[in-house]
Amino acid sequence: MSEIFDFDFFDYEEKRDQYVEQVEELLSSKQYAKLRDMLLPLEPADIALLLEEADEEYMPLLYRLLPKELAAEVFVELESDSQEMLINGFSNAELKEVLDELYLDDAVDIIEEMPASVVIRILDRVTPEMRKSMNEILQYPEDSAGSIMNMEFLSLKKDMTVADAFKRIRRIGGDMETINMLYVTDPQRKLLGVLSVRDLLLAEEDDLIEDLMDPNLVWATTMDDKEDVAQALSKYDFLAMPIVDKENRLVGIVTVDDAMDVIEEETTEDFEKMAAMLPSDKPYLRAGVFDTWKARLPWLMILMLSATFTGLILNHYESKLAACLVLNAYIPMLSGTGGNSGTQASVAVIRALSLDEVYFSDVLKVLWKELRVSFLCGLCLACANFAKMLLIDRMLLGNDEVTTSVCLVVCLTILFVVVFAKCVGCSLPILAEKIGLDPAVMASPFITTIVDATSLLIYFNFASSLLGI
């Protein structure tokens, strides 16, 4: 049995390192048979990891140790730059061997990441039918369900018996990625129903498919957003979602493992966007320094330049500030608290939007909720700060400039800033989604910049009226 069986962080890391070491040892002593025996029992995803960890020159050697079928499974799990390197080293016969073993959707995933020269070489090697299907899938927009669907699925006719269905599964089931869900179609390939392989196994030999299938089914179209399809699959606990074309004909399925990959990818993108980065499709350590730099600089630049407004406001009130310099010490706290409050609301709403817990029609409900929450939070923070300013800043540190009026200015500002930040934070993402922008971009950094400027305006207005400066 495989020894990689425990997923605790330390264990897995340790075992991985042991394996890497062992691979290096066996490689340098050229014990290839032993190496092969070591790799064979592992899962394809783990073999891929070991290949990636090995020196680049050894990767083709390691890869060639694997039997044909396993090799193809490992190939799918590799990063695209490793795949490209391997393909460049392949003879035409070797390339054809790998391609013959791949499922259509995996093959498409791979060529989507390859440079044109490699794509042409691949398309030259596949069977004409596969080339046709690949071209079809490649024509769907990048984020559509069509682009990730698998065109190899098992369909049945409604007048088949269970025995007929089993015969069909035995005949063509070996080429399918999954046979757990079976789809029933009419002669025009329109979807009529769905049944699981368990339904078949529990039925009698001469039962009709029509009587076993569930005619109430959920499907998605090729042009639906792949993230929505993945979320629906998760919500309904499906193993596969049938995909129909514009004429309502069944053309493919999206399987649960692909849906999980989509959700993982999109979640990573959300994290990146919310942290003011452009999304990148490479794992953190594999992205080069320049790639990372390119993904991070744009938003940093925009946000830095938009802080000019905050600077202008400070310049404008320079004389007032000079008159009561103690006010200055509280500006970072005010903008920090405002920013954090806004971030909380925006992140909560962005996540709720992406899980379909909140829709645009809920915008007033959301605002009303945030208004009450922010008032409560603001009140607590203002009171705590009032006490802290009097007890610590004035009494303990003996700063006489911290008068009760100054405390009042600061604390009133806190209350107003928190309420303002939370209301802006919760409504901007919803509005963004409504007008077709990505709500994740409306997260913390963007909202912080708005809140920063506004909190200064609120602050100086309270200062003017209460301190008469």
**Is 360 one of the binding residues for its own copies (CB under 8 A)?**
yes
The pair of three-digit structure tokens given for residue 2, joined into one six-digit string:
């495989």
Note whether 467 binds its own copies by CB under 8 A. Answer: no
Q: Does position 220 bind its own copies by CB under 8 A?
A: yes
Residue of 92, 139, 315, 465 that binds its own copies (CB under 8 A): 315
Nearer to its own copies, 100 or 261 (CB): 261
Which value, to the nearest 10 degrees, does the dihedral of the CA atoms of residues 344, 346, 349, 353 take? -140
What is the Cα–Cα distance from 444 to 339, expressed in whole angstroms? 7
Question: d(Cα 438, Cα 277) in Å, to the nearest integer?
Answer: 13
Terminal Cα distance for the chain, rounded:
78
Cβ-based neighbour number of residue 17 at 10 Å: 11
User: Of residues 63, 140, 330, 462, which one binds its own copies by CB under 8 A?
Assistant: 330
Q: If binding is defined by CB under 8 A, does position 149 make contact with its own copies?
A: no
Closest approach of Cβ 98 to its own copies, in Å? Answer: 18
Q: Show the tokens assigned to 362.
A: 């809920």
Stretch binding its own copies (CB under 8 A), from 123-131, 205-213, 356-364, 460-468: 356-364
Residues 393-422 that bind its own copies (CB under 8 A): 393, 399, 414, 418
322 lies in the site for its own copies, by CB under 8 A: yes
* 54-62, 94-102, 122-130, 163-171 -> range binding its own copies (CB under 8 A): 163-171
User: Which residues inside 263-292 make contact with its own copies, applying CB under 8 A?
Assistant: 263-264, 267-268, 271-272, 274-277, 283-285, 289-290, 292
Using the rule CB under 8 A, is 381 a contact of its own copies? Answer: yes
Dihedral over alpha carbons 109, 114, 120, 126 (to 10 degrees) = -30
Stretch 195-214 residues interacting with its own copies (CB under 8 A): 197-198, 201-202
Among residues 33, 356, 464, 466, the one that binds its own copies under rule CB under 8 A: 356
Least distance (Å) from its own copies to the CB of residue 94?
25
Query: Token pair 């783990």 is at which residue?
Result: 46
- Of residues 6-25, those binding its own copies (CB under 8 A): 6-9, 12-13, 17
Q: Report whether 87 contacts 114 (CB < 8 A).
A: yes
Applying the rule CB under 8 A, the residues between 32 and 71 that interact with its own copies are 40-45
Q: Which of 28, 116, 129, 170 binds its own copies (CB under 8 A)?
A: 170
Return the H-helix or E-strand segment holding 25: helix 9-28
Q: Give the rounded distance of the alpha carbon of 457 from its chain centre.
A: 37
Does position 355 bind its own copies by CB under 8 A?
Answer: yes
d(Cα 240, Cα 145) in Å, to the nearest integer?
A: 12
Q: Which residue has the tokens 């006490």?
A: 387
Residues 150/255, Cβ–Cβ less than 8 Å: yes
Residue 394 in contact with residue 455, Cβ under 8 Å? no
What is the Cα–Cα distance from 220 to 108, expressed in whole angstroms?
Answer: 20
By beta-carbon proximity to its own copies, the closer residue of 118 and 272 is 272
Taking a C-beta distance cutoff of 8 angstroms, is the pair 225, 201 a contact?
Answer: no
Nearer to its own copies, 147 or 231 (CB): 231
Pick the closest to residue 342 from 274, 419, 415 (CA basis): 419
Q: Where does this chain touch its own copies (CB under 8 A) — which range of 24-32, 115-123, 124-132, 442-450?
A: 442-450
Binding piece for its own copies, criterion CB under 8 A, among 59-67, 80-88, 93-101, 255-263: 255-263
